[in-house]
Structure 1
Amino acid sequence: MSSPFDIEEMFPDDGDHPVRLPRRQAGNSPQGLAVTLLADYTLRDLAWLPSAAIAALLAEAQVSQTGARAAISRLVRRGVLEGSRQGRHTFYRLSRSAAADLASGGRWILTATAVPKPWDGCWTLIAFSLPQERGTQRRALRGQLRWLGFAPLYDGLWISPHELTPPDQARLGQVTGTVTVFRGRQADLDTVTNRDPLDAWDIAAIAGHYETFLRRWRPLLPQVSAGQVSGAEAVRARTEVMDTFRRFPTLDPRLPVELLPPGWLREPAREVFAAVYDGLADAAEQHVRAVVARFGGSPHTGIRAHLTTDILAGTVVPATAPSGLLPG
């Protein structure tokens, strides 16, 4: 099983989609950081931010000015950001398409890590056939299957403990390829070649990622509760905890607790994530507003730190931006 930092797309591109959100990769990707920052503080109102403010916030995460400018430019080319120039200043905001994907993705991250319903003992299997020369379509299909919580049991046969919902079916239908879907129970064979469907996931590795996450973030909770984390540190912590936690639904897509080792850490990790992300929201929001004001933007227009409750409720992306949110 690959590391969560090797998963090519948390929001896979189906080939016809108007935006291509950046790849999730090892370390701090400038494009990924920029998207996380804008999603965490401007998603609801599609607020415009001065380019200099975005660069300053990225600089606090050790991204150079050159790296920040390159990241912004690439995100515009991908259709993730859109720009507006006023005098000598340039402003950027999330495009509506990207914002809709991010809102959907954020809700998926939290619902996929919630306590699952009792499992009915059945597996969904997806068999597909695509020639090797159609590598782009194969990658797109695999990306969609990962997104839907599937893992490869064998080459060309992917498995999930959950049924495909109508939205899942529609999403899967966007990908080119010959696909057959089954759902049923495993028939145990009295042979050493019998493979447990759960073997499609590296359970020990997933448990290790949970343990690493908790070791990193649990010690911060007393400082969060005491209000001792503020300013740039609060923004960095919220960005990092989100960027790490968002990988768990792909690693552990609501695998049935009946099949997992005792003391599975999915719920403790989710609780710690919420405590850090929500607990630092006010301090982080104040800092983002101060940075935006420093570079000529309105510090109070459309800048709001999202909470886990906002994400779960589903952010409604406006069809058109209110005039008061335009730069200037």
Structure 2
Amino acid sequence: MDSADLRREHSVISPFNVEEIFPDVAAGSARLPRRQSGSSPQGLAVTLIADYTIGTRAWLPTTAIVALLGGFGVTAGAARTAISRLARRGVVEGSRQGRSSSYRLTEPAAAELLAGGISIATFATEPDAWDGSWTVVVFTMPKEEKARRSSLRAQLRWRGYGPLYDGVWVSPHPLTEQAHAELVAATPGSLTAFRGRLVGFRADITRDPIEAWDLTAIAERYRTFVRTWEPLLPRIRAGEVTGASAVRSRTEVMDTYRRFPTLDPLLPVDLLPADWPRARAREVFRAVYDGLIEPAQDYVRSVAAQDGPRPGIRAHTVAEMSTGVTARSPVRTASR
């Protein structure tokens, strides 16, 4: 059973509205494609290009990108449309030599993706520490300002806040000065933030801040991830996942796992069930992503080399990603 069969067997639930979780990036930056409940051609293209060129911004032939996306069932026409749209968004830039065209990440997109990669790679690696206090963000906004209200909610969700009540959002983590400034800029004169401890008078008549999150749904998302990918580990260790299958699995495991930093606000362990599955999901992610680095890199290089040598194609491990893909050790590749 391959990864596609496993995904069909275990449907993934989404505890939040995906459009709310993944807002558009700030104005003036590269407009990375909005995350979707599935994998869009644009999203897959960005993940593929970043996974193998983020540290070098190497050029990938259009034919190679189209061929690689074909491994995900994306038609040649849809792949070329995705590339064109990414170029218009400022995510990739093109180069042409004769009849051949190539694309690479733009500098702004590479910078944003590197920062995002660090966030993904370091997610849930810091020691768990909580002083028992909650950050509370309170805002008021006319209902007719729907777009502005939606933008603020998206920014709060992006930062790990949960809605305790309609205009009251909470987080166990301190609010940084930068995050506060960005939220205030989005809602001038309409937002107040403070930090304090919960006053627990009668538990049966008050709402605990932890209820701002659907812990059952988040845990099930983690468990679904583990059920989907863990069965692939024996085949990876045996070297049985190669070629296009290695690239497909490595891309898809990243495309799925990268959502957890916004789905899971890293609530303190004291507030979570004893069997919280976050740690196991991270172990499985690393085992799949790092375990497929050699066969996936070999295949991407072989596809790209049909249009000429591409020495800048290099895959990276989760550990390397956590440093911004700057401390890369050589990856062994098959001789050609």
TM-score over 0.5 (shorter chain): yes
Confirm or deny: 8 A CA contact 2:51 2:316 kept in the other structure: yes
Confirm or deny: 8 A CA contact 1:141 1:175 kept in the other structure: yes
Aligned to 1:304: 314
Q: CA RMSD, aligned part only?
A: 2.0
Q: Give the drift of 1:315.
A: 3.6
Give distance in 1, aligned partners of 2:294 and 2:135.
42
Match of 1:313 among 323, 329, 334: 323
**Structure 1 residues 158-307: aligned runs within 5 Å:** 158-169=169-180, 171-172=182-183, 175-177=186-188, 178-190=190-202, 192-294=204-306, 296-300=307-311, 302-307=312-317
Deviations 1:6-49 (A, max 9, x none): 42266533552332211211222111100110111111111111
Aligned to 1:65: 76
1:123 is the counterpart of 2:134: yes
Higher deviation after alignment, 276-285 or 108-117: 108-117
CA pair 216-49 structure 1, distance change in 2 beyond 3 A: same
Confirm or deny: 8 A CA contact 1:19 1:80 kept in the other structure: yes
**Structure 1 residues 125-164: aligned runs within 5 Å:** 125-164=136-175
CA pair 210-40 structure 1, distance change in 2 beyond 3 A: same
Confirm or deny: 8 A CA contact 2:16 2:263 kept in the other structure: no
Give distance in 1, aligned partners of 2:259 and 2:279.
15
Confirm or deny: 8 A CA contact 1:5 1:24 kept in the other structure: no
The one-letter amino acid paired with 2:60 is L
1:48 is the counterpart of 2:59: yes
Give distance in 1, aligned partners of 2:81 and 2:151.
26
Q: Secondary structure at the match of 2:85?
A: helix
Q: Secondary structure at the match of 1:138?
A: helix
Confirm or deny: 8 A CA contact 2:39 2:255 kept in the other structure: no
Higher deviation after alignment, 2-11 or 31-40: 2-11
CA pair 202-116 structure 1, distance change in 2 beyond 3 A: farther
CA pair 297-4 structure 1, distance change in 2 beyond 3 A: farther
Aligned to 1:324: none
Give the TM-score of the pair, scaled to structure 1.
0.89
The one-letter amino acid paired with 1:72 is I
Q: Secondary structure at the match of 1:286?
A: helix
- Equivalenced residue count is 313
Q: Secondary structure at the match of 2:19?
A: coil
Deviations 1:60-102 (A, max 9, x none): 0110111111111111121111112221111111111111111
Deviations 1:246-284 (A, max 9, x none): 111112121111111111111111011001101101110
The one-letter amino acid paired with 1:28 is S
Higher deviation after alignment, 284-293 or 104-113: 104-113
The one-letter amino acid paired with 2:317 is L
Give distance in 1, aligned partners of 2:294 and 2:186.
41
Higher deviation after alignment, 14-23 or 273-282: 14-23
CA pair 44-176 structure 1, distance change in 2 beyond 3 A: farther
